[in-house]
Amino acid sequence: MRRLLSSQINPASLASPFYALGTALGLKQPGKRDGWSVVGRMLMPRAGAAVVRLPDGKVLIAGGESTGGYTQIVEIFDPETRRSQIIEAQMIAPRAYHTATLLGDGKVLLVGGENSDGNVNSAELFDPERQTFTLIEGNLITARSRHSATLLPDGSVLITGGRAGERVLDSTERYDPENQIFIESGRLTVRRAGHSAVLLPSGELMIAGGNDGENDLDTTEVGNSETLAFSPAEIRLPFKRAWAAAQFLEGNGTVMFAGGNVDGVVSGEVELYNPHKKQFAATNRMRMSRTTPGSALVTETQAMIFGGRDAEGNLLDTIEAYLFSTIRTDKKIYRPGQLVKMIGRGWEPGETVEPILEESPEKHDKHTLTAVADENGRINNEEFIIERLENNDSSREYTLIATGRSSGRAAQAVFKDAVANAIYRSRQTGNWNSSITWEISTDGGSSFSNASDTPGTNLGNEVRIRNGHTVTLDTSPANAITQLTVGEGSSGILTLGNNTTLQQGLLL
């Protein structure tokens, strides 16, 4: 195989026609400019390398299997110059089929893998500023390779499944970055290696595909990112898929599954999963079929795939980029009367983009808006204002679907309105467990009328505060709870003692 000392190449030299296999986001054909192009080469072919985007936008490519076997050599790829450079620092241990996760402090956690001695139970930290590797004192509870690693909202990293020798695992463990130790966690519902794991916007962890030691899988399961408990999901992959690349395309609203072994064959097929609609749709395939590649979301509108092996088992050094469009709003939750600002990137310059708003529960027809992309493919729209809710209305969820008229590209975002403009007032003193009459104001407290609902659902001595509410509670006597605040976009449970009373004029 001919290799270049520089990773900069002409992508057009490897161009081939795109073809669409399905619909993007369950809406329309993928755009004619959506799809894949070869944008560079690594300085050495690799399969099973760990790949992650660094804080400065460059991409770390560490280890893997190469022409000389398992390697500890590291290179950094610059998406802007499309050049890769081998750095002087090397991993402490050669490893392949390991994972790399960017931590909250900007360092990279490299976990497990395999080398000529078998499975690796150690983990390392890479410091991008100093370009140094440090061995973590705490080892994995179970030495494993071909696992997944996911950064959780609390800053810890969940390691799931993988292989220990010939044994496929269902065990999981969590890395605690503060104490640099691994802690035993729950179990997957199915033994999996070579699977995909993606944290969804809902906070759920999606586990998909992989191999159970005998067969490739099309099943999925979901994990709670707080309790770390897993349960089977009804959603199935369109194909049995293992050793693939997976990325949540933030701003597009979908999860991309690319390449791997699809129904037992090394493939270039790509699907997009829409977690809001719970649907899969095919999009343009990669230029090359590949399995065990690395992947990273490198810009707001580009994901990249690195190396792997082709259908003949040859090691690959090529890097492919997938171009997609985005749409987002400036808030996740809006109050009535607020303007919704919509921002998009990655559209065809000069094309008209149609953002369509669907609401649930549906109170109005769909809202169709327009925006024209500038010379950089950016769109902005500030035409939609959240309508004031009636007293008996609940919060509504809006699905924003943007589609380019000429490119056919599509992107999706979700936001909500809130009933939080309403002020509730108790009309009399009474125990929370008794019936309380409420008044409501929708004009900031200037006037009140009898409310048709309550600030929450009265369940014994619990009141559940609805999503989107901001609540301040002042109660007496002095030994009662004096204040509770539930911030915008969150929810909570207020538990009151049997003797706690609500005073007349209490505002919620």
> 276, 248 in Cβ contact below 8 A?
no
Please indicate, yes or no, if residue 143 is contained in any of the structural domains: yes
pLDDT at 500 over 60: no
- Rounded CA separation 484/465 (Å): 11
The mean of the pLDDT values for the chain is: 82
Give residue 448's pLDDT. 61
H or E element in which residue 174 lies: strand 171-176
Is there a cis peptide before residue 128, judged by omega within 30 degrees of 0? no
Where is mean pLDDT largest: 13-17, 178-182, 404-408, 500-504? Answer: 178-182
Q: How confident is the model at residue 338 (pLDDT cuts 50, 70, 90)?
A: confident
| Secondary structure of 432-452 in HEC code, one letter for each residue | CCCCCCEEEECCCCCCCEECC
Q: How confident is the model at residue 121 (pLDDT cuts 50, 70, 90)?
A: very high
Return the SS3 of 116: coil
Please indicate, yes or no, if residue 151 is contained in any of the structural domains: yes
Q: Which phi and psi (to 5°) does residue 13 adopt?
A: -70, -20
- Rounded CA separation 281/308 (Å): 24
Count of positions (residues) in the chain: 508
In this predicted model, what pLDDT tens digit does every residue of 323-334 receive, in sequence order?
999 999 998 878
pLDDT at 485 over 50: no
- Rounded CA separation 136/153 (Å): 22
Please indicate, yes or no, if residue 4 is contained in any of the structural domains: no
Q: How many CB atoms lie within 10 A of CB 422?
A: 22
Give residue 445's pLDDT. 57
In single-letter form, the type of residue at position 486 comes to V
Full residue range of the structural domain in which residue 408 is found: 327-417
Please indicate, yes or no, if residue 469 is contained in any of the structural domains: yes
Residues 6 or more apart whose CB falls under 8 angstroms from that of 115 comprise: 70, 93, 94, 95, 96
Question: Which pair of structure tokens corresponds to residue 32?
Answer: 């004619």
Which residue would you say has higher pLDDT here, 435 or 303?
Answer: 303
In this predicted model, what pLDDT tens digit does every residue of 408-464 receive, in sequence order?
899 999 998 865 444 555 554 444 444 445 555 555 555 666 654 444 433 333 344
Residues 6 or more apart whose CB falls under 8 angstroms from that of 172 comprise: 158, 159, 160, 161, 185, 186, 187, 188, 228, 230
Residue showing tokens 């300085």: 43
Cα 229 → chain centroid: 18
Which pTM value belongs to this model? 0.77
Give residue 426's pLDDT. 53
Name the domain boundary from 260, 289, 324.
324
H or E element in which residue 175 lies: strand 171-176
CB-side neighbour CA atoms (13 Å) of 117: 10
Please indicate, yes or no, if residue 5 is contained in any of the structural domains: no
Give residue 449's pLDDT. 60
> 84, 42 in Cβ contact below 8 A?
yes
Q: What is the CATH number of the domain that holds 110?
A: 2.120.10.80
What is the arithmetic mean of pLDDT over 339-343?
95
Residues 30 and 55 in one domain: yes
Residues 161 and 299 in one domain: yes
In this predicted model, what pLDDT tens digit does every residue of 181-194 receive, in sequence order?
999 999 999 999 99
Residues 271 and 343 in one domain: no
In single-letter form, the type of residue at position 20 comes to A
Residues 320 and 337 in one domain: no
Q: Which of 245, 228, 290, 297 is nearest to 265 (CA)?
A: 290
Return the SS3 of 302: strand
First to last CA, the chain: 70
Q: Which of 26, 62, 29 is nearest to 46 (CA)?
A: 62
> 230, 197 in Cβ contact below 8 A?
no
> 488, 333 in Cβ contact below 8 A?
yes
pLDDT at 249 over 50: yes
- Of all residues in the chain, the percent with pLDDT exceeding 70 is 74
- Residue 407 DSSP label: T
> 101, 55 in Cβ contact below 8 A?
no
Residues 506 and 450 in one domain: yes
Residues 265 and 368 in one domain: no
Is there a cis peptide before residue 361, judged by omega within 30 degrees of 0? yes
Which residue would you say has higher pLDDT here, 5 or 365?
Answer: 365
In this predicted structure, which of 68-82, 160-174, 404-418, 480-494 has the lowest mean pLDDT?
480-494
Please indicate, yes or no, if residue 1 is contained in any of the structural domains: no
Return the SS3 of 13: helix
Give residue 310's pLDDT. 98
Residues 411 and 430 in one domain: no
Please indicate, yes or no, if residue 3 is contained in any of the structural domains: no
Residues 100 and 232 in one domain: yes
Say how many domains are in the chain: 3
Please indicate, yes or no, if residue 2 is contained in any of the structural domains: no
